Structure 1
Amino acid sequence: MTAVSVPPATTSFDLGPARALSCRECGHQTPLAPEYACHECFGPLEVAYDFGGISRADIEAGPQSIWRYRGLLPVPATVESHPNLNPGSTRLVQADRLAKALGLRKLWVKDDTGNPTHSFKDRVVGVALAAARELGFTVLACPSTGNLANAVAAAAARADWQSVVLVPSSLEQAKILMTAVYGGNLITVDGNYDDVNRLAQELAAEHEDWAFVNVNVRPYYAEGSKTVGYEVAEQLGWRLPEQIVVPVASGSLLTKVDKAFREFGELGLVDATPYKVYGAQATGCAPVSSAYKAGHDVVTPVRPDTIARSLAIGAPADGPYALDVVRRTGGKIEDVTDEEVVEGIRLLARTEGIFAETAGGVTVATAKKLVETGQIDPDAETVLLITGDGLKTLDAVADHIGPRATVPPSAEAVINALRD
């Protein structure tokens, strides 16, 4: 594939309430455009808004998808008129049995396995696609650890766009096949995610009609994660939880959930009550957790070595900002071993009937560790974010579970097996 067009040089984009891009480091603002780095200090950009009046009734009258929050996102008001996967509106489960097992008084599980490609990445890709269309791109692309690859390939297929997806060749086979089935251009790369990400940045510079959702349209893409926080607050009856545990890969999800809670409070949609944000990582790729424990503001890159491949980002772009959120809200960041991850997957499945991928195992196991080490208040209402489906990472549990027995076709044999 070769570049066939260049996004138009204009600043008159219809991106709803979005008014500019603002540097997260120096605060310099630039017009809306396919930009992701500040021209003044090279810091990362994020979307700045002029929110109009928006009420609970406005949101409740919206569709059962992330587009009910379109007045808070960088997307046109007509976003629903274009073919898309309509992600969001996933269930918030009252997890009493898991709460008892963990030693928590009141626990909810935000189950994002119910999204179209079974992870929260459908949310961010939905927003990225809407923005990319308005910005003049023609190809949807990404580097990915798996879930994003699935979401980009599916969203592009639905929108009748071409897609270019780059993933590490060591990725779980289920995620590779699930990406390939949508018929886009899937390329496996010999290297880890950080190698793939560097390659994507090179390609983004060379092919200006390719919208790399987490590179050249990253400021818009990242805003899609806010919808997780919006939904949690709305599903709790328009209030904020006291504590929330979020898995950390790049760190963007954690920072955007915090942004969602703050925006709802500032807009008067919820009471701006205090809350604590906790981060969860796998020990085999825990650069943010290590920086937190060492009291550092800078995150030192690591080479990932964990079964939690969807969190295996050794150089997390939002790591420093995740540290800021956790410290400002009074939370903590912890990490857990691969063995604890597997047990976290199994614990969630057998107590609540939710089969999570390895990232979900990280979240559950981290919550368990936080309780056992006295780092989280067991009496405070807590939410765990489960971001992906366990069918994508069957290899992680394959050696740990299986049939109780194999018996001949007789009732007596079944009863004997159960007795044994």
Structure 2
Amino acid sequence: MTPYDLVVRSRRTVTPEGERPAAVAVRGGKIAALHDYAAPLPAAEEVDLRDLALLPGLVDTHVHVNEPGRTHWEGFASATRAAAAGGVTTIVDMPLNSLPPTVSREALDAKLRAAEGQCHVDVGFWGGAVPGNAKELAALHERGVYGFKCFLSPSGVAEFPPLGPAELRAALEEIAGFGGMMIVHAEDPELLAEPEGPGYREFLASRPGAAERSAVTQVVRLAEETGCRVHVLHVSSAECLEVLEAARARGVPVSAETCPHYLTLAAEQVPEGETAYKCCPPIRSLANRDLLWDGLARGVLSCVVSDHSPSTADLKVPDFAAAWGGIASLQLGLTAVWTEAARRGHGLGDVVRWMSANPAALAGITGKGGIKTGNDADLVAFDPAADTFVDAARLHHKNPVTPYHGRTLKGAVLTTWLRGRPVDGRPHGRLLMKGDG
């Protein structure tokens, strides 16, 4: 037998068929075979994790890298280092908050130039749908973006304005024409308001769950009428679940995701003045959190992705009314979700499905999302029993601001392999284009 480049053994290998003892054999950056755990195999390198878990690399389809233009908020080098440290081997970059936003082929080319040679994990790209760029969408699709993001309410940055109802319909019709997908920040601007005070209670009241439900209802109706594939981003309100479940039962091409902060944090636990917790849509109640977990378990919500949206510390002040609305958590998503999932009786296979297999399938990223023959050898050695204390200053995120600071989370990422090579500080990530083999 020709020697393998690498063999990784674990008694807890999480495969699409379930968790089992296995030896994962790697050749040429791909998973060449899965063997019995104790099978003798010739290999240039061998790692035996014994009772530690072996997971596929996570796929995070909701990351704001912010480069070029706002690289002081985050950048490709820092974001992808953080991703690898958190067991994420593929990210898909959002079209904002970079300058220029990714709303034309020329802007995408600028982003590709900025990313080249910096990435520690593989990186794909979303395009943006904004007023006036409908004629750019087909060219972006042909260039290889994984789909298009739009807002129905203000995005927080002037250069990425929201689509009105007529503009949304026109964009969906255009995207349906070439078989693409729209991903939507769904909050109804008519039901949003300015906070009536500086605290979290007032901020939460200004962005009610009804605003999400109203927007999701609109998106579902238009998806049904246009036939466009639509994905609802960062669902924070359980009020949306009934609408989404009914749409799925009717065969409407709509799916939805949620995020670690909505599954692990709660409004009742937000400390006074701790604006690191601010995000849009907001973190809601403990009771709402329980309902999101139920929706995830039932498959109404299919993916858990970070919505990593960092900023510099000076933009997170002075209060909840004025602070930037974004959570920094790219490095912490796996441990945060595992902490709560394990407490609720879910297994590592569930977490892998929500955070690796389903996001890869959503975007159509081939060769990712599972430990199976032929896939890229994107692997993560994970200790599910370890405790990880979060010190924001020690994270790879460019700015040390996160609501998880000071928390102890369950689980620890020990090693991350990208196509069979450890992520060790020398960038070897690739820039991914939809349709590439």
Q: Same fold (TM over 0.5)?
A: no
- Give the TM-score normalised by the residue count of structure 2: 0.26
Q: Structure 1 or 2: larger strand share?
A: 2
- Give the TM-score normalised by the residue count of structure 1: 0.26
